[in-house]
Amino acid sequence: MKKTTSLTALALCLATVTTTVGYTAVASPSTGGDALDRFRKQSVKWTECKDPALAGSGTRCARVTVPLDYEKPKGRTLTVAISRIKATDPAKRRGILQSNPGGPGGRGLSLPAEIKAQMTPQAAAAYDVIGMDTRGLGESTPVDCGLTRGMWLHAPGPDRAGFDESVRLSREDARRCWDKYPDVLPHLSTRNIARDVDIVRSALGERKTSWFGQSYGTVLGAVYAQMFPRNIDRLVLDSAPDPAEYHSFEMVRKMGPANEKAVDDFARWAAPRDGEYGLGATATAVRATVEKMIRHAGTEPIRVGGHRVTDRDLPLLLFGFITDDTANAEAARTVRVLLDAADGKPVTVPPAMQGFLDMMFDAAGTGRAADYAAQLGVLCADAVMPSDPEYYWKGVERTRASQPVFGPVTNVPLPCAFWKEKPREKPTKINNKLPALQIQATGDTRTTYESGLRMHQAMRGSKLVTVPARSHAVYLYYPNDCVKRTVNEYLVDGTLPARDTVCTS
């Protein structure tokens, strides 16, 4: 989930349930018994990965069979793709470190190589790092609904017609998925993914597993720890949401003010560099430039990078470029290119910007559209959302003044609002004393710091490492030696900080 080029960053930890609607009551699947033994004891055959980049990184791949429905373990099965980079010193090997990159909908087979790149030699010697494409995703019996877009985000523009178009798109995405996968979608929940994680652990012959998860991967890790507390060894949660709000629309809405603050933070950075980028000599002027550019695109779309960018597209582009304060220069170049293109000047579109534009406009028939479908599968199997469009329209109107760039974007309905079936299980309540290391950035635009504090409170045995920065997924992608050292030392010797601490940049 590299900040400016990966679409996973567009949908990390979105909330999808309110307390005004209920759940389909079903019995909780048993975690024991002979029925699952054939899955737990299956043989895992490691082979060369299909992806040449994965193969070149030293990653090996395998397939694991899991039940589609854990209530019916003798019924239909799914294939889950996993990956591994082995511990560098068998004599010092501690066990496995399973992982998830976030999303949901982030492909995980490449994650072991990314994690190994940040590990000290001592940590790399201790763990086989395991990646996984979760059920319904990527190489794991994917759901591909034939969607025409690659993300749920859609800025509604200034009027009701634009909002109604957002509603239409979400209805259509929900309809397409249910028409194609009515028997699979109810089983793509986080609880079932956690059960898959445990099947993988057992099939690999491990009594316990350690876990590294970022963004949505922290929810999955916390749910796994809650469901299988005896099977968890060391637990790292990087950039966590409030585990309760993951099941409420508040998670989506909180992205609005968080990203609005990021615009102000970026503006304060850009103002002293007006001579280089020409966005404004004060923070107020920079923000005014951004807002004026969006309004202008509503009347005269900006033609750039082979695409026609309107006021409904620009907030999404900005959403992807202001996640990380180390990418301020890239964000400034992006705005400058857009301004010049709007003035009819010839421009050279930076590669990251071009890639992002292509993903926004050319998702139909691509792997990104399939990943988006898998993301919806997880989100909507976990939660229900209000189905009345007026609920969302009121939020759009309410936030226009205080959140002019991102308020409307984060108040339009997700396709989950029009899902045909309620979740089959209630969400897992996180409440335990298991030791865990949590990393949280104060300026996180995806999972806010305040939300992360509530994960810390729910994981009562955790120690919190605060990073004063605008960042998301800190350990892998933010240049903070203190965080890397703290995580690696914990993985090696199991010692948490004595108290909650701060890792300055």
| pLDDT 10s digits, 146-162 | 999 998 888 999 999 99
**Does 1 have pLDDT greater than 70?**
no
> Which residue from 156, 137, 21 is spatially nearest to 374, judged by alpha carbons?
137
> Which residue from 306, 319, 330 is spatially nearest to 406, judged by alpha carbons?
319
Q: Mean pLDDT across the stretch 399-406?
A: 97
- Which tokens sit at 272? 């002293």
Cβ 283 vs Cβ 268: under 8 Å: yes
Tokens 């966005």 sit on residue: 279
Q: Mean pLDDT across the stretch 427-451?
A: 97
Q: DSSP code of 152?
A: S
Bridge partners of residue 133, in order along the sequence: 81
**What is the distance between the alpha carbons of residues 103 and 472, in angstroms, rounded to a whole number?**
12
User: At residue 265, what is the residue type?
Assistant: D
**Does 505 have pLDDT greater than 80?**
no
Bridge partners of residue 213, in order along the sequence: 100, 237
pLDDT (0 to 100) of residue 33: 53
Q: Which CATH architecture describes the domain 39-142+193-248+425-502? A: 3-Layer(aba) Sandwich (3.40)
| pLDDT 10s digits, 108-151 | 999 999 999 999 999 999 999 999 999 999 999 999 999 999 98
**Does 4 have pLDDT greater than 60?**
no
Q: Global pTM?
A: 0.93
**Does 20 have pLDDT greater than 70?**
no
The pLDDT confidence band at residue 27, using thresholds 50, 70 and 90, is very low
3-7, 28-32, 222-226, 323-327: the lowest-pLDDT one: 3-7
Question: Hey, where are the domains in the chain?
Answer: 39-142+193-248+425-502
User: At residue 277, what is the residue type?
Assistant: Y
**What is the distance between the alpha carbons of residues 196 and 89, in angstroms, rounded to a whole number?**
28
Q: Mean pLDDT across the stretch 72-84?
A: 97
| pLDDT 10s digits, 201-214 | 999 999 999 999 99
Which alpha helices (H) appear in 351-408, and where do they start and end? 351-361, 367-382, 389-399
**Does 309 have pLDDT greater than 60?**
yes
pLDDT (0 to 100) of residue 147: 95
User: At residue 123, what is the residue type?
Assistant: A
Q: What is the DSSP string of 165-230?
A: HHHHHHHHHHHHHHHH-TTTGGG--HHHHHHHHHHHHHHTT-S-EEEEEETHHHHHHHHHHHH-GG
Angle value at C-alpha 133, between 131 and 139, nearest 5 degrees: 120
User: At residue 60, what is the residue type?
Assistant: R
**What is the distance between the alpha carbons of residues 387 and 211, in angstroms, rounded to a whole number?**
36
The pLDDT confidence band at residue 31, using thresholds 50, 70 and 90, is very low
The pLDDT confidence band at residue 247, using thresholds 50, 70 and 90, is confident
pLDDT (0 to 100) of residue 424: 94
Instruction: Name the strand (E) or helix (H) holding 485.
Output: helix 481-493
For residue 104, whether the previous peptide bond is cis, meaning omega lies within 30 degrees of 0, is yes
Cβ 62 vs Cβ 200: under 8 Å: no
**What is the distance between the alpha carbons of residues 45 and 35, in angstroms, rounded to a whole number?**
22
